[in-house]
Amino acid sequence: MKQALVLIPVLLAAGCVTTTKFKAQQDEAASQQKRAETAETKAAGLQKDLDALKLSNQQTTEAGLKVQTDLSGQLKSSNSSLKAANDQVANLQQSNKDIQAALDANKGQLSKQVGDLIKERDGLKATAVDKDKQMTDLKNQLAGALADKRAVEAAKQAEIDKVKQNYEDLTAGLKGEIAAGQVTITQLKGKLTVNMVDKILFDSGQADVKSDGKKVLDKIGVVLAGVLDKDIRIEGHTDNKPITAALQSKYPSNWELSTARATAVARYVEDNAKIDGKRLIAAGYGEFRPIATNDTVEGRAENRRIEIVLVPKE
């Protein structure tokens, strides 16, 4: 092809133009050949570049395919991981739903328990207030009871003091009779008892007070008249010896005799000591309350007695 391009201008020059023109044509042909060579060189370079580009494209394509394959594998792995994550999320969501349902159920139960606890607390507060009030009332009652106790103890002590004073007065006034064994005076648990053997007051089988007995009763009456907060019980007692036949028409039994003697003493202190009869009690016990054996003379003598006892008012 290069030779054809060279021969064309030569032939043209030989047959048609002058030397100058031929020269010009020859230069032009050389220039064209040079341009053709340059173009051919460029074309070769372009072909080389094209081949390099094709190779590069092929390598790029292969690399892309590899990357695509890797990405496809990664995508599959990612899809698998994503599916596992989605499953886990679904499980967590279901678990959350279950937990929420349980929380809602527990919330209602807890709300009820809280309400019950509040009611219980309010009830306990009310109970505490009631207990405080009860405690205050009990303290007041205790204080009142202690005050009453002190008052009772004071009254009891005053009573004991009175009985003691009466005892001392009677003891002082009846020293001779006490020394002779005719009278005994006892003070026990606030009760004062004057015990007189019957012979100082009465003859055997009789219920009339003797003159010596009246003197004793006068001394006793002075003390008894000053005891205004007590009743005076006069008791007649005998031994167990039956009433003699001569006296049975008057005193069928020791019961009647003991009652008659108690009544005689009561009447005497009423008349002579000016003691209100409402405060006097006459009682006959016969032989039924002995203080000693009835098997001896001494025992029977002790059982035959008059007792004057200070007792609480009825």
* Residue 202 neighbours by CB under 8 Å, 6+ apart: 208, 209, 210, 213, 261
Q: Is the CATH number 3.40.1000.10 carried by domain 174-312?
A: no
Q: What is the pLDDT of residue 46?
A: 77
Q: What is the pLDDT of residue 165?
A: 85
Q: What is the pLDDT of residue 8?
A: 52
| pLDDT (tens digit per residue) in 32-67 | 888 888 888 888 887 888 788 788 878 877 877 786
- Is 307 in a helix, a strand, or coil? strand
In the chain, where are the structural domains located? 174-312
Q: What is the pLDDT of residue 210?
A: 96
Regions in the chain scoring below 50 on pLDDT: 2, 5-6, 10-13
Tokens of 33: 């050949």
Taking residue 284's Cβ as centre, other Cβ atoms within 10 Å add up to: 21
Give the dihedral of Cα atoms 112, 117, 118, 121; nearest 10 deg. Answer: 170
| pLDDT (tens digit per residue) in 186-223 | 988 778 899 999 899 999 999 999 999 999 999 999 99
> Is the C-alpha dihedral spanning 203, 205, 208, 214 positive or negative?
positive
Tokens of 149: 């106790």
Q: What is the pLDDT of residue 164?
A: 83
Q: What is the pLDDT of residue 11?
A: 47
